[in-house]
Amino acid sequence: MTGDSAMVGADQRAVGGQPEAERVDVLIVGAGPCGLATAIACQRAGLHAEVVDRGCLVSGIYGYPTFMNFFSTAERLSIGGIPFSVATEKPSRRDALAYYRTVTSHFGLRVRQYEEVLGLAVLGEGEGVSAGTGAGAMDVARVEGGSGGVAGGRIRGGAGAPPEKNIVAAGPADATIVPPDSAGERWEDVRQHAASPSPSLAPRFAVHSRTRSGRARLTTAHAVVVATGYFGHPNRLGVPGEELPHVTHLFREGHEAFQLPVVVVGGGNSAVDAALDLYRAGALVTLVHFGPDLDSNVKPWVRPDIVNRIREGSIVAHFESRVAAIEPETVLVSTPDGHLIVPAEAVYTMLGYQPNNALLEQLAVPIDPVTGIPLYDASSMETSVPGVYIAGVIASGFDANKTFIENGRHHGDLIARHLRPDLAP
C-alpha cells in the first residue's frame, strides 16, 4: 500500500471460524462515482461510512472501452467538491480513473474492493426478527451482541439458507487510518471524517458479503445505501449461439479485430462508438439494429461520422433487422428483404444493461415492473423501507438515460442530510 492509498476496510475479526462482523453507521453497496459521493457526504456528516464493491473502485468506468472519452465535461463528473480538471475538452476513461482514485485517497474513504454483497436483512428487537428471502438472502442466522453489537438480534436465513450459526458482532471497528500524504492539513481532514460508529445510531440491518478469496463477512449498519448502478445484467438477444466465445457485450478496443469481419448489434452510443473504433482499426464492420435508424440520443458530434461511414459503405448497416442466430463464423440476420448470412469472427452485442434490484427485493422494496424504478422519496432517496436508500443510476430503473454521474453524484448529499439533518453540510 502506498502513502496515498485509501484506507481499505476497517478492522475485521473472525470469531471462532465464523464470518467476521463489524459495525458501521452507513454501508454503501457500490463504489461507483455515486456510491463514493455518498460516502463523502456521510463522512462529512460525521457518519462512519463504508463502501463495498464486488469489483475494483469505479469498476463500471474501468470496464468502459479503453480509449473512450466522456460526453460530460470534467467539472460535471467531480464529486466531494474536489476539482477535476483535464487539459482536453472532455475527460478520458484514464483521467476519470485517476480522479476517483485521488478523491478516495483524499477523503480516506473506506472501500472494500472485490467483496460482493449477497444479502441484506432487517434486524429487529430481540428474537424472531425476519430476514430477507430469495436468492442471496442471509446465510448466517444469529447475531449475538458484542460491545456495541446487536444484543440478541436474530436473523433468519431466507429460503434455502443453511443451518443457523452463531456469530459475535464486533463492536466499533478500530480503524487503521492511512494518511493520504504527510501534509498536516489533509491528515486532519481525514481524521475528522473517519468517525467511529455513532452510539446513538442503532444497527438496523445486517449485510452479508463475500470477499474474492471466499471469506464471508457480516456487517451491521444503521442505514444501507444501494448504489449498484445499471451494469447488473447485460440485455440479451435471446438467440441461438449467443453463448459462443466470440460473442461479447463488452467492447475494449478495435485492434483485436484488425482485418476481420465483425457484427455490431445495437444503434445507441455504445454500438456506434464500437463500430467506428473497429472500422478505424481495420475491421470489416456490419451494424445490425432493430430500429429504423440510429438511436436519437447518439452524441451529436459523433452522429455525422457514423452516418457518413454508412452512407459511403465503409460500415454496412442493416436497420429494422434482427440477429436470428449466431454461428462460429457467421451471423444469420433477418432483414425486411429476407434473411442474410453475414460473416463474423466477432460479435459485439451492445444492447445496454438492466439494473440488478435483487438486494432491494430482499428487503421488500417495491420495484415498478414496467419502469424498474424502486419506490423511493426523491427528496431523501430513502426507499419505502426506512433506512434503506438508493443512489446513482439505479434510481432510473431500466432507463439509464435519466440518471448519470452528472446528476446521481448529488444523491449522497440528500441521504446524509436525511440521516443527520443536524450535522450534514
Ligand X SMILES: Cc1cc2nc3c(=O)[nH]c(=O)nc-3n(C[C@H](O)[C@H](O)[C@H](O)COP(=O)(O)OP(=O)(O)OC[C@H]3O[C@@H](n4cnc5c(N)ncnc54)[C@H](O)[C@@H]3O)c2cc1C
Positions touching ligand X (CB under 6 A) are 29-35, 52-55, 59-60, 64, 68, 70-72, 116-117, 227-231, 270, 392-393, 404-406, 408
> 3-class SS at 77?
helix
Query: Closest Cα to residue 261, out of 296, 287, 240?
Result: 287
Cβ closer to ligand X: 305 or 345?
A: 305
Residue 60 vs residues 6, 35, 55: alpha-carbon distances, Å: 19, 12, 9
**Residue of 117, 28, 145 whose CA lies nearest to 387:** 28
Min dist CB 256 to ligand X, Å, is 18
**33-44 vs 93-107: helix axis angle to the nearest 10?**
20
Of 60 and 179, nearer to ligand X (C-beta) is 60
| Distance between CA atoms of residues 147 and 171, nearest Å | 5
* Closer CB to ligand X, 73 or 198, in the complex: 73
CB of 115 to ligand X, least distance (A): 7
Q: Which of 280, 284, 238, 239 is nearest to 264 (CA)?
A: 284
Do 345 and 322 touch, CB atoms closer than 8 A? no
CB closer to ligand X out of 331 and 350: 350
Residue 26's closest CA among 36, 40, 39, 9?
39
Q: Per DSSP, what are the bridge partners of residue 332?
A: 325, 341
Q: State in angstroms the smallest separation of the CB of 87 from ligand X.
A: 17
Secondary structure element (H or E) that encloses residue 99, with its range: helix 93-107
Cβ atoms 349, 322 nearer than 8 A:
no
Radius of gyration of the chain measured on its C-alpha atoms: 23
Q: Shortest distance, CB of residue 371 to ligand X, whole angstroms?
A: 17
Q: In whole angstroms, how close is the CB of 136 to ligand X at the nearest point?
A: 8
- φ/ψ of 219, rounded to 5, equals -125, 135
Asked whether the beta carbons of 252 and 65 are under 8 A apart, the reply is yes
Least spacing, CB of residue 310 vs ligand X, in Å: 21
Rounded to a whole number of angstroms, the minimum distance from the CB of residue 336 to ligand X is 30
Q: Are 383 and 391 in contact (CB under 8 A)?
A: no
40, 41, 97, 294 from 179: Cα distances, Å: 16, 19, 20, 49
| Pick 59 or 335: Cβ nearer ligand X | 59
Q: Which is nearer to ligand X, 79 or 326 (CB)?
A: 79
Nearer to ligand X, 105 or 270 (CB): 270
Q: How far is the CB of 46 from ligand X (least distance, A)?
A: 23
CB of 28 closer than 8 Å to CB of 47: no
Identity of the residue, 66 or 192, whose beta carbon is nearer to ligand X in the bound complex: 66
Residue spans of alpha helices (H) in 108-202:
184-193
CA-to-CA distance for 67 and 253, rounded, in angstroms?
A: 7
Q: Are 90 and 71 contacting, i.e. CB atoms less than 8 angstroms apart?
A: yes
Tell the smallest beta-carbon distance from residue 122 to ligand X (Å).
18
Place of cell 415492473: 369
User: What is the distance between the alpha carbons of residues 80 and 416, in angstroms, rounded to a whole number?
Assistant: 13
- Would you say 149 or 266 has its CB closer to ligand X? 266
- By beta-carbon proximity to ligand X, the closer residue of 8 and 239 is 8
Nearest to ligand X of 219, 334 (CB atom): 219
